[in-house]
Amino acid sequence: MGSKEFFISWDFALSLLIAVIGFWIVPDIIPTAILKELYAISVSVLSILFSMFFASLTIIISLNDNEFLEFLEEDGHFSALLAQFKFSLSVMFMSLIVSLLLYILVIFNVSTPFWGQCKIQVSIFVFIFFYSLFAVFLASLDTIRFLKTRVTFKKKNR
């Protein structure tokens, strides 16, 4: 995925929109108690998404139909699919690491009564989080498309 496709995509735009709306809605400093819950939820959600993502990737990798893979690779579709999965994995892994680090940071500061994070930091996190959600969603749709294409290919080559 090139930088143009990254910035001009509905998943990027929607993630950015959610982050901007969040920026305008939340207070200037978000209290630690709220941050702790936000980051705990994000770690849980991203962990579940990792499982879904790897299930989709396993489906694609486990199909050892060389004729079908060669057919897809004629136009570069299979390489593009794997590149999309690699990109999605990178985004999701980065989001999970950021979530874990922020959660750890908040846990160490939960007893500090006036500690919090400014809304720009949280907005950046919200953008990364939602972008990873949409990346996994798109990867799952790609898996479904891949399987539908395989069924069509098998029907034609009987």
For 7-28, write each residue's pLDDT tens digit: 578 888 999 999 999 899 988 8
pLDDT of residue 18: 93
Cα–Cα dist 91/139, whole Å = 12
Asked whether residue 158 is assigned to any structural domain, the reply reads no
Residue 4 inside a domain? The answer is: no
Give the domain extent around 29: 11-152
Angle, CA 87 vertex, CA 95 and CA 16 arms, to 5°: 55
117 found inside a domain: yes
Question: Over the stretch 23-67, which tens digit does the pLDDT of each residue have?
Answer: 999 888 888 888 889 999 999 999 998 888 888 888 888 877 788
User: What is the rounded distance in angstroms from the CA atom of residue 21 to the CA atom of residue 30?
Assistant: 15
The pTM of the full predicted model, rounded to 2 decimals, is 0.81
Name the 3-class secondary structure at 79. Answer: helix
State the Cα–Cα distance between residues 126 and 15, nearest whole angstrom: 8
Helix, strand, coil distribution of the chain in percent, nearest 5: 85, 5, 15
8 torsion bin: left (phi>0), alpha (psi -120 to 50), beta (else) = beta
Residue carrying structure tokens 């990798």: 61
- Report pLDDT for 3: 52
Write the single-letter amino acid at 64: N
Number of domains composing the chain: 1
Share the mean pLDDT of the chain: 85
